[in-house]
Structure 1
Amino acid sequence: MSIEKQIEAYFLTQPEPKRSDLKELHRIILDVMPQCRLWFLDGKDESGKIVSNPNVGYGTHKMRHARGGAREFYQVGISANTAGISVYILGIEDKNYLAQAFGKDLGKAKVTGYCIKFKTLGDISVETLKHAIQCGVEQTSG
């Protein structure tokens, strides 16, 4: 099954309004990153054990490991969680950057080093989220 079909199937497993919010986020991120590589991780490890929520990724960058080495991974990701939706903006060096630069303008969201969590898209400023994604992508491109 193609990555696009896996992503669509994943979205269809989500209840409304989360399903519609995920589809809209997908569209928004593709508008910000139109030529990006798409990823779908089903949340299972090599043995088939569930180790995380499934997630959709966008773009690519070299992710450095704390113990050395690096691997290719996505720049931006989205995932449904029990409380709503998480948006991951990976590879930003300063772990306080997202919260300091965008936290107060996002609306009802929890912002950590690389994750923005919210219940619904209606709870946040979509324009601020788009700006955070653009800034994160700029920091991890090239």
Structure 2
Amino acid sequence: MTVQEQIEQYIATQPEPKQSEMRELHDMMSALMPACQLWFLDGKDEKGKIVSNPNVGYGSRSIQYANGKTREFYQIGMSANTTGISVYILGIDDKKYLAQTFGQDLGKASVTGYCIKFKTLADIKVDVLKAAIQCGIGQTGISH
């Protein structure tokens, strides 16, 4: 199964209206990063144990760990959670930046150092979410 097929299957398993909203977000991410690498992580570790919600990733960035090792990972991510949808914007060094820059204008959302979590798209201003994603893409200096 291709990554695109895995993403489609994952989105299709979500209940409405989450399914439609995740499709809308997937289309938005694909438009913002048309040539990006797509990722699908099923949420399981190498032993098959569930360690996170499945998630869809867009783009690619290199993560360097304290021990000097590096690995490739997605830049922007999306996943369903029990109460709604999470959008991950990775690679921003200042962990207060997202909340300080976009938190007030976003609407009913929880904003952490790299995650914007909301119940439904109707609760947030999608144009502000899009601006936050574009800002995250720009801050990492990786072109797509």
Q: What TM-score results when the alignment is normalised by the length of structure 2?
A: 0.95
What is residue 11 of structure 2 aligned with on the other side?
Answer: 11
SS across alignment from 1:94: coil
Q: What TM-score results when the alignment is normalised by the length of structure 1?
A: 0.97
Q: 2:93 aligned with 1:93, yes or no?
A: yes
SS across alignment from 2:56: strand
| Structure 1 portions without partners, runs of 5+ | none
What is residue 121 of structure 1 aligned with on the other side?
Answer: 121
Give CA-to-partner distance per residue, 1:2-49, whole Å, 9 cap, x none.
Answer: 000000000111100000010000001111111111000000111111
Measure the CA separation in 1 of the matches of 2:94 and 2:66. Answer: 15
Amino acid at match of 2:38: L
Query: Paired residues, what number?
Result: 142
Measure the CA separation in 1 of the matches of 2:114 and 2:99. Answer: 9
What is residue 63 of structure 1 aligned with on the other side?
Answer: 63
What is residue 75 of structure 1 aligned with on the other side?
Answer: 75
What is residue 38 of structure 1 aligned with on the other side?
Answer: 38
Measure the CA separation in 2 of the matches of 1:117 and 1:29. Answer: 16
What is residue 50 of structure 1 aligned with on the other side?
Answer: 50
Measure the CA separation in 1 of the matches of 2:66 and 2:108. Answer: 32
Measure the CA separation in 2 of the matches of 1:53 and 1:8. Answer: 16
The 8 Å contact of residues 85 and 119 in structure 1, kept in 2 or not, is answered as yes
* More displaced 10-residue stretch of structure 1: 112-121 or 30-39: 30-39
SS across alignment from 1:16: coil
The 8 Å contact of residues 61 and 141 in structure 1, kept in 2 or not, is answered as no
Provide runs of 4+ in structure 1 moved above 6 Å.
none
Amino acid at match of 1:104: Q
Task: Report the Cα offset of residue 141 of structure 1.
Answer: 2.5
RMSD over aligned Cα atoms: 0.9
Task: Report the Cα offset of residue 123 of structure 1.
Answer: 0.6
| Structure 2 portions without partners, runs of 5+ | none
